[in-house]
């Protein structure tokens, strides 16, 4: 039987999936994304892992997705539509709730632990 306890260990990462932002989401720069998926959950509705982005700026559109983030490294500026920019740094945690729309600007390469609920 598979364990129901999963350790998210930044020092022991599985194979990374490397990607780029969709062209319609890119605002500035040439960011590269790396995702280390630890668990896809039941029917893929809950996902956990570590994600990294190099500097750049993209549109962030959550739709029906709820995402918790804890920054392991880096600096990002998030600007929700109609609101002032907010800076998050290593050690900070935040939630982007369903319906969030805004701009994700990676200032210094960022690495985060994420929990996504669809």
Cβ proximity of 35 and 12 under 8 Å: no
The helix (H) or strand (E) run that includes residue 74 is: strand 66-80
Token code pair at residue 79: 């600007």
pLDDT digits (tens, 9 = 90+) for 43-79: 768 899 999 999 999 999 999 999 999 999 999 999 9
Residue carrying structure tokens 């609101």: 83
Using the structure block, give the residue that is written with the tokens 């890119």. Answer: 26
Give the number of other Cβ atoms within 10 Å of residue 41's Cβ. 14
Residue 91 is encoded by which pair of tokens?
């050690």
Confidence label for 4 from pLDDT (cuts 50, 70 and 90): confident
Which residue segments constitute the domains of the chain, with CATH numbers given? 41-117 (2.60.120.10)
Report the predicted TM-score, pTM, of the whole model to 2 decimal places: 0.90
How many Å apart are CA 83 and CA 80, to the nearest integer?
5
Cβ proximity of 58 and 94 under 8 Å: no
């Amino acid at each position: 039987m598979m364990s129901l306890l999963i350790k998210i260990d930044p020092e022991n990462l599985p194979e990374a999936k490397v990607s780029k932002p969709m062209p319609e989401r890119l605002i500035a720069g040439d960011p590269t994304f790396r995702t280390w998926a630890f668990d896809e959950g039941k029917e893929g509705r809950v996902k956990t892992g570590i994600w990294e982005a190099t500097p750049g700026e993209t549109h962030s559109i959550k739709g029906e997705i709820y995402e918790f983030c804890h920054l392991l490294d880096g600096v990002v500026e998030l600007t929700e539509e109609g609101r002032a920019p907010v800076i998050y740094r290593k050690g900070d945690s935040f939630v982007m709730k369903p319906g969030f729309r805004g701009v994700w600007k990676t200032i210094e390469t960022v690495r985060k632990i994420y929990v996504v609920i669809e």
